[in-house]
Structure 1
Amino acid sequence: MRVEFCYKFKLHSHGFAIYTVHPICDITDLPILTILANINSTTMLRIFWSIICHILFASNFLNNSASALGNITDHSALLKFKESMSSDPFGVLNSWNSSTHFCMWHGVTCGHRHQRVTEIKLVGYKLQGSISPHVGNLSFLRVLYLDDNSFHANVPRELGRLFRLQAISFANNTLGGRFPTSLTNCTQLREIGLYGNNFTGQIPMEIHSLAKLEYFNVARNNLIGRIPPSIWNLSSLTVLDFWYNHLEGNIPEEIGFLKKLTKMSVSENKLSGMLPFSLYNLSSLTHLHTAGNQFHGSLPTNVFTTLPNIRQFWFASNRFSGPIPSSISNASRIQMFDIGFNNFVGQIPNLGKLQDLSVLAVGENNLGSNSSYSGDDWEFIKSLVNCSQLYIVIVESNNLGGPLPKIIGNLSTHLAQFAMADNQISGEIPTELGNLVNLIFLSIENNLLTDVIPESFSKFQKMQEMYLKINKLSGEIPATILGNLSQLSQLDLSDNLLIGKIPSTIGNCKKLQAVDFSLNNLSGAIPTQLLSLSSLSILLNLSHNSFSGNLPPEVVMLQNIERFDISENHLSGGIPENIGDCSSLEYLFLEGNSLDGVIPSSLASLKGLLQLDLSRNNLSGSIPQELQNNSVLEWFNASFNKLEGEVPMLGVFQNASRVSLTGNDRLCGGVAELNLKICLPKNVKKRKHHIRRKLIIIIIFSIAFLLLLSFVLTIIIYQIMRKRQRKTSADSTIVQFPKVSYQELHHATDGFSDQNLIGTGGIGFVYKGRLNSEERVVAVKVLNLQKKGAHKSFLAECNAFRNIRHRNLVKIITCCSSVDHKGDDFKAIVYEYMTNGSLEEWLHQNAEQQRTLKLEKRLENVNGIASALHYLHNECEKPIVHCDLKPSNVLLEDDMVAHVSDFGLARLVSTIDGKSNNQTSSMGIKGTIGYTPPEYGMDTQLSTEGDMYSFGILLLEMMTGRRPTDEMFKDGYNLHNYVKIAFPNNILEIVDATLLSTENSHLLVTTEVARDLHPNVERSLSSLFKIGLSCSVESARERINIEEVKTELNIISKALADEGK
């Protein structure tokens, strides 16, 4: 018989000993029977215990050998981990050396039994490097926390070998690559925290193998695709966070299987669809975040009954609609309720039972009654008085109307942010609002608030940002408010009716970074206390007020300001030379004042200056050549000053479209596109100057001699001239028209009565009247001289009509430039009265009107307008640009013939060297929104092409019945695009419905199925649409001219005429 091992014994007098072991031996080699026969019981017992001891010794030897081997593996793996670090700023791995056992190393925990590594926790030490794949050799590892460091590269797949791993977190590092699928092999995992990294790809389907998973957070990564369906089967999940990824698809009903779920966030992804009802039945939920997706639908009425434990409800920035469920009153534990940027409607319900509510954000919805007189929209404020923890309230951009209730002052004193902007709040600001003394942010801008700013606002000693712009607030800025708001950083009171001076107490606001007082009626000098605020870094806007005096030298204190705007005031004096020390300036607007002196060369030291506007002042001298060295300057406007000399050639001055110098006749040089005269050489200038000086001396002596001889005659002539100047108009162009007095026009219009008022415009009113001198009905346009540009408009219109006559231009009878019964300037223009009103009235009728403008008449009107434009552009001595062509400026006489009117913006196109130059720059020229070509908004170059754009839009409006300012046109979508999309195959879907009505039945073909247009008529409509599109293209160069338009219109007219025969 053979066995694998056997022991051979040698018996001694005192017992026995094992002396050899053979791998294979024959049992017959042992004289076992003889041995047993000679051994007594005591010896047998000794033999038994000796064998047991040797077996235990052998077993312990094997275990110690295995443990020693494991220690070596762990020790080596940890050292490899340390080697993979490129930076250890806090030296936390210094203890990782051979002088101490690795179980004593910082961040390492070992088991007591085997001394094997079970935990590694190195959180927040700013370690840099990659995760060593040798970590996968730590086979006893249960916890691996490496959060808040700078680990990069991919997660090594070797981590999938850690079958004992229960928790892993690499949050807030820069790890990348695809989601570490190998982790799904670690079936004991209960926690995965990978948020705040750069992982890409999809969440693996194998995630279902982690049946014990309780915490899964992959927020703030770049994951894509759908959420794997298998994840909804992980019934142990309590926290699920996908925030800020690129996940798509919807949330299925299977989410209802996650009964233990307490926190769920899918915010800031690309998820869509309706949220399943099973989600709202997860009663354990405390945090539910779906913001920043494309979910739609309404909230179930009982949503807050089925979610009794909800604390955070964040549904902002989706497409949810319907009312806010009244069951919200049951959500007694809710702390944050944010549904902003959706389409919720109705009233805000009673929130009085929400004792823990701290954040209420319902802005950017359609809540409220949409009435400025409603008293119900603010009922919820009364219930909020019970919410003692309230910290943030955002109700801006809704339809909340009516006055603010006085009880608003009883809201929680913890309230820090209150946003009510962009509603229809009316009435005065309640004084009680000042009781909210802990406010740091208040926004009530863009409402209908009236009266004064309450003195109680002086209690806002913690206020940092306050926005009251775009209201109708009046009175002065209370000095006490600015004196006490020492923490204020941003203040916006623009676009109100405020008067008086800026209080000097504004100097107490030492932390102000942005101030906007523009578009008010403030006056006086700009306080030095304001200019001395070195904290101003974002904006100081005082434009469109009535400030006067000089710009103080304290402006040098604004060394951190980026945008400084004091345009459209009454400031005088020079521009301080030290303004060049405001080194952070990017935008400087000084236009529309009475500033004089030279342009400071120090402006060239503003290396970050992007835009500089000095237009419409009295500046003289030359443009500093140093300005051309500013490489970032992108816009320079010095038009309408008294500048002279050579224009720089480099920098911004290389691009004529970024420079405006109109109205400075003594400038020369520059790039050719500026069309300035050539500068004379310096030696020629000196010679001319010398000759000029001699001539001046001779002329002076001659004049003195003549004055001495004819002193009396000169005085008489002077008196005669003064009398003539009083009697004549300031504008010589109106002398050619028959004279009419103010009294005659006053009598003709029954004292400019409301009964005779037939229209209003941007700068005046139009009355119907009857002149006694001619006994005919006329239209009297009275200009409102308080409006900016009215005087120029009067001169332009009289100029335009001085030498032009055409059947399709409205006939001017006379102009009146006089004074009214109060002694104020009075200017009016008398036109031929058009009995059928304007084209605007025919295209866009009221419901009571039953007039129809047939296609033939519309075509006749288009032909008439085109004829008028052709005359203005090509047949006048100098081309005239109308600048404001629109339906309300096209009048219709008895026989419906169109007459183009309102030349208040018209400009003569200049002639240079005998050649027609079809463009002239004129800053401030504006037409009407929707009809003005896009190029006018950029460099304001007036051109005949601009009129063609207006003609194209007018034609498209006549054919579609839609105004270019229709509310459907926004975000870059306009009338041109609307027609272009339908052209040419679907034009019948956009054509004005009245053209297909019974009044135009002669244009239709009746069949058994339907009534369709005659083919020729449809082709004519298509041709008209094509003309409109060709005229209204964005590029001025690509627009067709009026000659081409007239040719096309003649063809269309002939085709329609043949169809009618």
Structure 2
Amino acid sequence: MFPTFSFWLYLLFALNFVQNTITSTLRNETDYLALLKFKESISNDPYEILSSWNTSTHYCNWHGIACSLMQQRVIELDLDGYNLHGFISPHVGNLSFLISLNLANNSFFGKIPHELGRLFRLQELLINNNSMTGEIPTNLSSCSDLEVLYLQRNHLVGKIPIGISSLHKLQMLGISNNNLTGRIPPFIGNLSSLIVLSVGNNHLEGEIPVEICSLKNLTGLALAVNKLRGSFPSCLYNMSSLTGISVGPNDFNGSLPSNMFNTLSNLQYFAIGRNEFSGTIPISIANASSLLQLDLSRNNFVGQVPSLGKLHNLQRLNLGSNKLGDNSTKDLEFLKTLTNFTKLRVISISSNHFGGNLPNFVGNLSTQLSQLYVGGNPISGKIPAELGNLIGLIHLSMDNSNFEGIIPNTFGKFERMQQLLLNGNKLSGEVPSIIGNLSQLYLLSIRDNMLGGNIPSSIGHCQKLQSLDLSQNILRGTIPKKVFSLSSLTNLLNLSKNSLSGSLPIEVGKLISINKLDVSDNYLSGEIPVTIGECIVLDSLYLQGNSFNGTIPSSLASLKGLQYLDLSGNRLSGPIPNVLQNISVLKHLNVSFNMLEGEVPMEGVFGNVSRLVVTGNNKLCGGISELHLQPCPAKYINFAKHHNIKLTVVIVSVAAILLTVTIVLTIYQMRKKVEKKNSDPPIIDPLARVSYQDLHQGTDGFSARNLVGLGGFGSVYKGNLASEDKFVAIKVLNLQNKGAHKSFIVECNALKNMRHRNLVKVLTCCSSTDYKGQEFKALVFEYMNNGSLEQWLHPGIMNAGIQRLLDLDQRLNIIVDIASVLHYLHHECEQAVIHCDLKPSNVLLDDDMVAHVSDFGIARLVSAIDDTSHKEFSTIGIKGTVGYAPPEYGMGSEISTHGDMYSFGVLLLEMLTGRRPTDEMFEEGQNLHIFVEISFPNNILQILDPHLVPRNEEAKIEEGKSGNFPPIVEKCLVSLFRIGLACSVKSPKERMNIVDVTRELSIIKKAFLSGGIDLEF
């Protein structure tokens, strides 16, 4: 009997089902193998995100993977922000159903695989914030469904590839912050769906192509920091869809059409600062009611500023460094239209031609105004007392103008003021005592005025002052001792060119972190206090033009970083101390016109006539021949001949006794060395050794000019070694310090097996004897050109007074780096490691500002045996540094990972507030944790580090860090403060652990960088 038709139909269906099942299985196998190959390309997974990628679960359930419901094919691979290190496997190109590939905010390197061009279903490709190199693949043109392409913040080179022009669905193109060259190609006009174009911070040249006007949906255009030139295409002003334009700095020129804001009525951000635009400000700007930020600074705009009365949403206005105004009384009338703007935070009209008086109605501006810059204009008249109504001011700059009269007492209302610049005016009267009310002040400059009277002692209440400049006035009286109690003074104390009298108090030695001290050209007298040698960070010391007497103190030799020393025009007597020739970095020494006598030294600064001035001291002799001084008499060069034979006998006898004692002590120390050597614990798996001779030669005999740091157990030098082709850091242990020898053992043991990109890499070590036969131990590390985090958080201690500041993005990256190290130490090492001394000075920054944790001299190795912790530790003393060490350590508790978390929490709060935990403001039970807790979460912007607010005219507005942050950034700040507080609570067991910290930091970083596109506004 023949089979029925229904049978054949059923058989056909069954065969088709089997075929589809086999095909689906094969395809699933393709995705599975591709993911395994991707995992193999990852060399470091600090959060163990890929640990779930194993055979125990289906790959659709692996972390970061999403699959289609029907075919079970991979459609999404999202590993954003997990600090993965490795290259992107070309096998990703086999995930043919992939719709979204997000590898942003990691440490991927190498080239972008061309195989990604096979992903024809791909809609989102995000590889921003990595270390990718090479060119942008041309075959991405095959990804015809691509809507989002984020490649910014990498190291990509070459031109923008023509293949991108075929991506007609592309909406977001972010390729900023790379090393791209060439022009903005005309084919960019083919991207008809483009909403945001961000190509800033590259090396692009040429003009903006007119084809860009074809992008009818474009809302954001970011071209900042390139080498672009020419004028804007006229059609650009008709693109009513634009909400943001950021093009500075470049070399654009030309004038702006008077009616441009009639069509660009939706603009919220218009930033064209630092170009060559000219002409007048378009009068149509009155209609730009959506504007939030307007930056026209550093151009060549002229004429009067039109009415801005309809810009009610304006937050930042920067007109600085133009040629606006004509030095007339009507120049500042436009400010009256701003008095009802409640959202206004920053105004800069500095360095223009504005004249007349500063009108009283300025005091009617918003009390939320935080920055006001009016200096560098020919504005005259008195400072209006109404200015004191602006109680929200943080920065006020009125310098280099023609203000006269007194400093108003209403300035005492500025309780939030951090930077006050009144220098270069014609102010008179006295420095008001209300200055002491400005407790948040870190910079005060009133130099070059006509202020008289005494320096008010109330300045001593400004406990955060880093720079104080009262020079070039007619101040009189003595210098208040309270000025020298300002330990916060790290940058500058300048009291020169006044009429100050009395002595220089011995309290000057309290300024241990001051970089520049200038009291020259006054009427100061008495001796130069020897305590000045305690100002060990001094770079420049100017005491000339006074009436100082006595001798030059030898304690000046303690100032190893001193470069400029001027003692001229005083009444100093006696010899020039020989020890001054040991200050190897001294560039200029002037001791002219004193009453010095004796032989001039010949080494160091004394060996270079172009760096030394000794004229006007008739009794000086000798020195190098270029000084043309008279030869020294015998009493200076052969003093011993004038003594009798009895003294010679005494000297010979004493020498014999000393020789005997030396021999006995030498034998005793040799025996002790043998005993010590036999009793020392061995260094496990010793590092490759380098000789003392190599280190001695590489540091020029451990010269002071190569000294880069001092620590509890020794000194750190910068040097060159024959075995290395780059600079290294050499940590030389001071074996006279208790615990230094054991610190060397601990650090070797702690570092021998540790490998992490955020740890300072140890290169070699030295355990030998020096040229005097003394025991010598040193560790050699990678050298970090950007120094320590301490120097960046508190820039006043930077060499030569160079201020280098960290923005919020950099601080977040450093926080993440440090947390990554703690996660590794506590959970990923064979033996858990407790650092015990986490603080800013132990965090070093490389060329790319990547953080590296260092100094494991008191670290602890912990191994778990039978669920109990066994710690290898020494008895070096209390673990950690005051302020960063947890309170339980001071009460005898054992060290633990909870202690490291406390230090991390304090460090995090310090990075956010800019305040050390040992700040003098924390007394009577107060501390950094309590200080933050009081303002958390509603008032955190008031305690934010003032360095996050731009200090100079170059970065005031476009940086967007004035204290009025976008909501997403403010939320991130709240979260960071919360982590810092949770880690630094008093109870160890209540502290946040590093696993939760790293997880939350990853979320914060992702949120902070959300959208990926940085319009640079």
Shorter-chain TM-score bucket reads 0.5 to 0.7
Residue in structure 2 matching 1:338, options 289, 295, 302: 295
Post-superposition offset of 1:502: 1.2
CA distance in 2, matches of 1:182, 1:294: 33
What SS class does the counterpart of residue 49 from structure 2 fall into? Answer: coil
Query: Cα deviations across residues 514-533 of structure 1 (Å, max 9, x unaligned)?
Result: 11101000111111111111
Post-superposition offset of 1:44: 4.1
- The 8 Å contact of residues 413 and 436 in structure 1, kept in 2 or not, is answered as yes
Query: Cα deviations across residues 665-689 of structure 1 (Å, max 9, x unaligned)?
Result: 2222322222223334568654897
- The 8 Å contact of residues 138 and 162 in structure 2, kept in 1 or not, is answered as no
Residue in structure 1 matching 2:155, options 193, 198, 219: 198
Query: Cα deviations across residues 598-622 of structure 1 (Å, max 9, x unaligned)?
Result: 2222211212111111111111222
> Which residue of structure 2 aligns with residue 910 of structure 1?
none
1:209-248 paired onto structure 2 within 5 Å:
209-248=166-205
**Partner letter of residue 582 of structure 2?**
N
**Partner letter of residue 333 of structure 2?**
E
What SS class does the counterpart of residue 246 from structure 1 fall into? Answer: coil
> Which residue of structure 2 aligns with residue 544 of structure 1?
497
CA distance in 1, matches of 2:459, 2:97: 68
1:357 matched to 2:314: yes
What SS class does the counterpart of residue 408 from structure 1 fall into? Answer: helix
1:394-793 paired onto structure 2 within 5 Å:
394-480=348-434, 482-680=435-633, 685-686=638-639
The two structures have a TM-score, normalised by structure 2, of: 0.62
CA distance in 1, matches of 2:114, 2:143: 11
Post-superposition offset of 1:94: 2.0
Residue in structure 1 matching 2:145, options 188, 206, 229: 188
> Which residue of structure 1 aligns with residue 822 of structure 2?
none
1:269-288 paired onto structure 2 within 5 Å:
269-288=226-245
Post-superposition offset of 1:142: 1.1
CA distance in 2, matches of 1:522, 1:260: 63
> Which residue of structure 1 aligns with residue 346 of structure 2?
392
CA distance in 1, matches of 2:15, 2:601: 99
- The 8 Å contact of residues 353 and 387 in structure 1, kept in 2 or not, is answered as no
What SS class does the counterpart of residue 245 from structure 1 fall into? Answer: coil
1:82 matched to 2:39: yes
Residue in structure 1 matching 2:107, options 130, 146, 150: 150
- Extract unaligned runs of 5+ from structure 1: 1-38, 692-1061
Post-superposition offset of 1:360: 0.6
1:163 matched to 2:120: yes
Distance 1:82 1:689, change over 3 A: same
**Partner letter of residue 413 of structure 1?**
T
**Partner letter of residue 425 of structure 2?**
N
Residue in structure 1 matching 2:52, options 88, 95, 119: 95
1:120 matched to 2:77: yes
- The 8 Å contact of residues 109 and 119 in structure 1, kept in 2 or not, is answered as yes
CA distance in 1, matches of 2:139, 2:601: 67
Query: Cα deviations across residues 944-971 of structure 1 (Å, max 9, x unaligned)?
Result: xxxxxxxxxxxxxxxxxxxxxxxxxxxx
1:255 matched to 2:181: no
Structure number with the bigger relative contact order (C-alpha 8 A, sep ≥ 6) is 2
Post-superposition offset of 1:690: 7.9
CA distance in 2, matches of 1:417, 1:441: 5
> Which residue of structure 1 aligns with residue 14 of structure 2?
57
- The 8 Å contact of residues 333 and 356 in structure 1, kept in 2 or not, is answered as yes
**Partner letter of residue 384 of structure 2?**
P
> Which residue of structure 2 aligns with residue 933 of structure 1?
none
- The 8 Å contact of residues 126 and 149 in structure 2, kept in 1 or not, is answered as yes
Question: Which shifted more, 641-650 or 252-261?
Answer: 641-650
**Partner letter of residue 364 of structure 2?**
N
Distance 1:71 1:647, change over 3 A: farther
**Partner letter of residue 386 of structure 1?**
N
What SS class does the counterpart of residue 390 from structure 1 fall into? Answer: coil
Residue in structure 2 matching 1:379, options 326, 329, 333: 333
CA distance in 1, matches of 2:503, 2:390: 40
Post-superposition offset of 1:242: 1.1
What SS class does the counterpart of residue 76 from structure 2 fall into? Answer: strand
What SS class does the counterpart of residue 153 from structure 1 fall into? Answer: strand
CA distance in 2, matches of 1:646, 1:60: 106
Residue in structure 2 matching 1:137, options 59, 84, 94: 94
- The 8 Å contact of residues 360 and 394 in structure 1, kept in 2 or not, is answered as yes
- The 8 Å contact of residues 436 and 459 in structure 2, kept in 1 or not, is answered as yes
Question: Which shifted more, 590-599 or 433-442?
Answer: 590-599
Question: Which shifted more, 421-430 or 105-114?
Answer: 105-114
What SS class does the counterpart of residue 381 from structure 1 fall into? Answer: helix
- The 8 Å contact of residues 188 and 211 in structure 2, kept in 1 or not, is answered as no
What SS class does the counterpart of residue 188 from structure 2 fall into? Answer: helix
CA distance in 2, matches of 1:477, 1:540: 16
CA distance in 2, matches of 1:425, 1:501: 28
Query: Cα deviations across residues 476-534 of structure 1 (Å, max 9, x unaligned)?
Result: 01101x22100001010000000011111111111111111010001111111111111
Superposed CA RMSD? 1.7
1:165-180 paired onto structure 2 within 5 Å:
165-180=122-137
CA distance in 2, matches of 1:650, 1:83: 61
CA distance in 2, matches of 1:71, 1:439: 63
Post-superposition offset of 1:546: 1.0
What SS class does the counterpart of residue 401 from structure 1 fall into? Answer: coil
Distance 1:609 1:683, change over 3 A: closer
- The 8 Å contact of residues 243 and 266 in structure 1, kept in 2 or not, is answered as yes
**Partner letter of residue 81 of structure 1?**
F
The aligned length equals 644
> Which residue of structure 1 aligns with residue 254 of structure 2?
297
1:307 matched to 2:264: yes
CA distance in 1, matches of 2:111, 2:429: 65
CA distance in 2, matches of 1:323, 1:683: 74
Post-superposition offset of 1:174: 1.8
Instruction: Indicate the percent of aligned positions where both proteins have the same amino acid.
Output: 53
Distance 1:62 1:681, change over 3 A: farther
**Partner letter of residue 281 of structure 1?**
N
Post-superposition offset of 1:102: 1.6
Post-superposition offset of 1:376: 0.5
CA distance in 1, matches of 2:466, 2:72: 61
CA distance in 2, matches of 1:554, 1:606: 17
- Find the structure with the greater CA-based Rg: 1
Query: Cα deviations across residues 98-131 of structure 1 (Å, max 9, x unaligned)?
Result: 2222211211111111212111112222222222
Post-superposition offset of 1:400: 0.1
- Extract unaligned runs of 5+ from structure 2: 645-1017
1:920-931 paired onto structure 2 within 5 Å:
none
Query: Cα deviations across residues 904-925 of structure 1 (Å, max 9, x unaligned)?
Result: xxxxxxxxxxxxxxxxxxxxxx
CA distance in 1, matches of 2:134, 2:566: 51
Post-superposition offset of 1:631: 2.1
CA distance in 2, matches of 1:653, 1:99: 76
Query: Cα deviations across residues 1000-1057 of structure 1 (Å, max 9, x unaligned)?
Result: xxxxxxxxxxxxxxxxxxxxxxxxxxxxxxxxxxxxxxxxxxxxxxxxxxxxxxxxxx
CA distance in 2, matches of 1:127, 1:676: 68
Distance 1:74 1:651, change over 3 A: farther
- The 8 Å contact of residues 353 and 386 in structure 1, kept in 2 or not, is answered as no
> Which residue of structure 2 aligns with residue 903 of structure 1?
none
- The 8 Å contact of residues 139 and 163 in structure 2, kept in 1 or not, is answered as no
Distance 1:497 1:98, change over 3 A: same
What SS class does the counterpart of residue 295 from structure 1 fall into? Answer: strand
CA distance in 1, matches of 2:599, 2:49: 68
Post-superposition offset of 1:58: 2.3
